[in-house]
Structure formats: structure tokens, C-alpha cells
Chain A
Amino acid sequence: MTNLLQAIFNGMLTGGVYAVVSVGLSLVFGIVDVVNFAQPEFLMMGMFVAYFMVLMSGLDPILLSPLVFLVVFVFGAIVQKVLIERVLNAPLVAQIFLTVAVAMVMTSAAQLLFGADFRSSPTFYTTIAVHVGPFQFSLPQILAFVVSGSMAAILWAFMEWTDVGRAIRATAQNRTAAVLVGVNPYRMYVLAFAIGTGLAGAAGAVILPYSYVFPTIGHDWGLIMFTVVVLGGLGSVPGALVAGLVIGVIQSLTSVYLPTQLQNLVVFIVFLLTLAYRPAGLLGR
């Protein structure tokens, strides 16, 4: 029983991070109507930015995460403005492959700039575990979960209570109506994309204490992100959050009770089943 619960808790911890990374993806699809296949690469970018900031300043990556958010936010805004905007009305294949190409470029640029070696930024708490009764929890993972949760909360508050947030939601609901009330949809797209990618970047900073960073790390995260987003419903922010936790737990249980090599298999099958029978996801729009 202990083992079961331990696995569930571990899953929730990683699930929190999945949630935050995927929220950005969901946001972009809901508002800009584009599936950003390069989202995992923005996570990677956030990790590298955090890594170098840590190197230069000696500060903790989690403390640096707001800064990382800003850096990736700006980069995301540029990508949206310069590239994605041009294919908003282009055929589907163009949209898909544009973000695929961006992913390629980001991965190879990282490889050229930083080499393919694995780097890590171990902090003083990297190997500390918190013991609660018979359970232990990795402290860096707890911190990652807490910070991810805060980011999600801030996002929610932003979307609910600020004017800008409401404008973004209005654009997603009905673009024409939003334009009629004076919202500039293109500016909303830039904002949404930038926020979405910024969140992925910040998540990268937050997982740095316990994860390696290397140019192709995005590939491991890619399909998990998409699964979370589809399960939660493309476009639904609370959906992504719930789905993130669910997928984290599923993955964790699978790795403990099934051979490790199959740890993602169940996730992918869940993905296909969701696509087949409930493509709108759990909380889809």
C-alpha cells in the first residue's frame, strides 16, 4: 500500500510540472489555433537560459525562474510575430511544419551553441529528500511542484481578473466579437504565444535542479505534453492542469508496476484512446 501511495505522490509531483508546461501549449491552441510542435524546445530553452544564469550569478534556478520566464516570453513573442503570424491563414500542413521546423532550428542551434553534452546544475538540495512517515519526497521535485502550482495560479488570476486576460479569453471565444469591442487579435495572439512559451521556459528553470539539460531533452517531453493537452482538452487551461496530474500519476504507476521501458506506452495508449473517443478531452471546449 505504501508503495502504491508513494508512486501516486511521485506522479503528482511530476504531474504538476507536466501541467504547467502543457498549459502553455493549450493556451496557444485555444487562442491562436496553432499547435506549437516546438513547445518542448521552449522548455529546453528555458533550461539552458536558467543553466547559464545560474553559472553567471550563482543564484538558485528556482529563484531565477521569473527572469527565465521573461527571456523566453520575449523570444516567444518574436517567433509569433515574425513567423507564426504569417501562416495563420495558410494551409494546415504549413502551420504544422512551421512549428516543426522551428523545433528543428532550436534544437540544432542549442547543439551548436552549447554542444551536445549533458549538463546539470546540482543545487544544495538536489539530493535532499523530505521524509513524511513512510514516504519520501525529493525536495527539488516538491519545490518544482509548488512553483509550478504558483505559476498556474498566477496564470489563472491573470486570465480571470485582469483586463488583458479577459481580452485574451474574449479573442478565443469569438474573434469577431472581440474585434468589435476593440481588442486587437494579433496583439492577443502574440501575448498568448509568449505567455505559453514563457511558462514552458520557466518550468524548465524549475526542473533544472533535478534534471539534466541537453539540446534534445525536448524530445522526451514532447509526446507527454501533447497527451496532457489533448486529454485536458486543447484550449482548456484548467483541463491541462488536471490532465497533467492525471498523466503524471499514470506514468508513475506504470513505471513502478510495469517494466520501466513501457513507462510511456500506457500514456501513449491513453492518448490514442482519448483522441479516438473523446477528442475534446476531459474538460474540452
Chain B
Amino acid sequence: MLPKQHRWVKLLGIAMLVGLLLAPALQAQAASEVKIGLVVPLTGKLAPFGQSSLAACEIAADFINKAGGVKGLGGAKVVLLPVDSGSDPTSAGSATQRLLSREKVAAVIGCFASSLSLAASEVTERSRVPFLTMSFTDKLTERGFKYLFQVVPKATDIGAGQVIQAVDIGKKTGNPVKRIAILYEDTAYGSSQADGLADEAKKMGLEVALKEGYPAGITDVTSIVQKLRMANADIVFPVSYFTDAVLIIRSMRQAGLKTPIFGGAAGYVIQEFREALGDQVEGILSINTSNYDHYGELGEAYRNKVKKFMPHEAFEHAVCLYAAVAGMDEAKSADPEKLGPAIHKIHMTTMPAAGLPGGGVKFDQTGLNTLAHPITAQWQKGEMVSVWPASYAKGEAYWPK
């Protein structure tokens, strides 16, 4: 080898060695801090949901720190590490992996969308780091994971809830429900909820005139709406994220379809939905896992800061943060491996966890919050009002015309 090349190789080798030696030193963190990762979609079509969750968790972290930090760790301050999960499962998995290999986090909260949460939690479980989520596809809690925690009910229960509650409201307002139509976005969230819907409907003896899945990111729903018209249903249960929800409602209105709509949360319960459709949202019902007329202090702070009402995913992610902190109080440690079992032990009954239907948080061995149950809210005069069950209701439901 030429002497010149020799020199470069030596320099490169030395540089690499120095870098490797320095790296661990640079990773030392302040002792009175505890890091919690937040992996949510900050870009892409799910961005509104991720951004709202980020804002909520920042407010929550602020509240916690102002109240003295994590008591179980001697008042350590919560530091939130937001990471963009992107809009597809692989990027969520990689983002989580990157987070775990670069930072020492006590827990990870995320990812709003069920498909993203499935991928991210695969990573956290293998690294034995607690993953707290408000995603609800059934599979999340069916994998025998020990480090997964879900603060809301399962998708099939939520779907079943949609049917049960719709029939109930129909009965009370004199509108019997016999034929139903189900439209769903064909991802983890949509398809599991739709399955729950269809199964419960069959159990109740209702006729499922249409069960139509559509690809995520669909841009033209003309044929779906045509199928819906052909189905001639008493009520339609669309399970969609934001853009497809707006598309469907607009197309239905355009086609003159007046079938009552009972949405499946996600796109149907955010402020952007109302902003996109204006008065056309009036009367639209939706299932939800919680509603902002129960969010108390956190909800108010959110509304003041973001100028929109606090959507359910934002609130529930904040509850996840509180749950993680409660776990750290219980374990008196920020070691993720110890935190897992500790979170299984907690039982939260005060605000903000009490804002959830069911009044709190307690996880069973699969990681499911056994206290939670779905509720129904309705768009009334531009606001979402909880209408069912009576224990959670703040208003009366009416059958949309």
C-alpha cells in the first residue's frame, strides 16, 4: 500500500475508536429526570391525531412537573421525547427501535393508530419496555404481552357497543333498527371494530345489509355510497379516520342519502371533522372511548392552548402518561423492566383517569383496562355531547333526521 493511503486508514481507525469511546459518555443523563417516549404520527394523513396527542401530553407533563414531578422517584421531572411514527407500521417500528437504542426511556406511549401500535409494541415488548396505548384493535392484548397496556376497551367491544347503543337510542326515540350497513377503513382499527359490529348485530338478530371495507387513503367514494344506497339500511356505521369520514359524509349528502350515521370514533369525533363539514355534522352520532365534556382541568387547559376541544386520543394518551407515572410511584423506579409489573398493580380512580367512562384505570393480565367501556356522543349545535349510557351522559340523544 502507498504510504499516503496508510496514513488515511490509520487516521480513520483512530477517529472511529475515539468516537466509540466518547459515545457512552455523551449519553449520560441528568439523574433527576425521567424520559418517556411518545411515538405518534406527526406527519402524514394521521398527523392531526398525533399532533393533538403531543399537545395533550405536553400539558400533562407540565401539570405533573408543576405538582412536584414523579413522587416515587423523589420528584424527578418528566421529560417527554416525541418521535414521529410516520403513517405506516414499518416506520412506526423503526422509529420506536431508534428511540429505544438511542435513549434510556422508562416507557413508550403511542401510536394512536392500531396498526402502528401493533408494530411499535412488538419492538417494546422484545426490549421489555412498557408500551401504553389508546389504540384498541383486539390483537394488541391477545399476544400474551406483559409490557403492553391499553387504557380503552377492545375494538370488538366498541363495535358491539355501537350496535347495542344505536338500537337502544332507536328504541327510546321510536326508531326501530332492523337493517344496518357497515363501512370501514380496512386497517387494524377499522376491520376489528367492523367485525365486532357485525357479530353483535347478528347476535341481536339484525340484518347486516352491507359490510364494506375500503382501502385506507381512498379518494373516491362514489361507488361505496352507491352500494350504501342499494343496501337501504336503517342506520349506517362508518368506521373511518378523518379524510375518508369527510368524503363519505359529503358524498352521502350529495347523493341525497339521509340514512342516520353512527360513526366509529377516530375521524368522526374531532374538531377538524366539524370544521370540514360545518352544519352537516348536526345529529351525527358516534361511539367513543371518552368525551371532552368529562375532561376537567386537562380539557380546559387543552382548549385554552390549542383553541380546539380536546379529542379523545389526546386525553387518553395523557392518561397513559399518568398511568406510567403512577407505575413509577408504585415501583419507586424508572427501570422499564420493573415498571412493567408495577403498572399491572396500579388502580387509578382520580382525575384525570376518572374522566374515562368507568371512572378509572386498572389493567388485567393481558394489559386491558377492565374498568373502561365505550360511550356514545352526538354532535349537537357544533359540540359533541355525551348521550349514553346514562351514567356518563350529559345530554339527551335524538334520532338524526
Contact = CB atoms under 8 A, between A and B. Distances in A.
The judgment on whether A and B are partners is yes
Interface of A: 3, 6-7, 10, 14, 111, 115-118, 120, 122, 126-129, 136, 138, 141, 211-212, 214, 217, 220, 252, 255-256, 259-261, 263
A114 to B, nearest CB: 12
13 contacts: A14-B220, A120-B246, A126-B250, A126-B254, A129-B256, A138-B222, A138-B251, A214-B45, A252-B222, A255-B224, A260-B214, A260-B218, A261-B186
Contacts of B48: 117
Given A211-B220, A256-B223, A116 B250 contact: no
B43 interface: yes
Contacts of B253: 127
Nearest to B212: A260
Contacts of B214: 260-261
Give the interface size class of chain B: 20 to 34
A129 B48 CA distance: 30
A127 B254 CA distance: 5
Contacts of B251: 138
A136 B186 contact: no
Given A129-B256, A260-B215, A118 B223 contact: no
A212 B226 contact: no
Closest 10 CB pairs of A and B: A255-B223, A260-B214, A127-B254, A116-B43, A118-B243, A116-B44, A256-B223, A129-B254, A127-B253, A10-B222
B242 interface: yes
B35 interface: no
Contact of B250 (A3, A127, A255): A127
Contacts of B254: 126-129, 138
Given A118-B243, A120-B276, A129 B255 contact: yes
B218 A116 contact: no
A217 B220 CA distance: 12
B113 to A, nearest CB: 14
Given A259-B212, A260-B223, A260-B224, 7 more contacts: A117-B47, A126-B254, A127-B253, A211-B220, A260-B213, A261-B214, A263-B223
Nearest to A138: B254
B220 A115 contact: no
B391 interface: no
Contacts of B224: 255, 260
Nearest to A126: B250
Contacts of B44: 116
Contact of B213 (A111, A116, A128, A259): A259
A10 B219 contact: no
Given A118-B243, A127-B254, A212-B247, A220 B219 contact: yes
Contacts of A122: 250
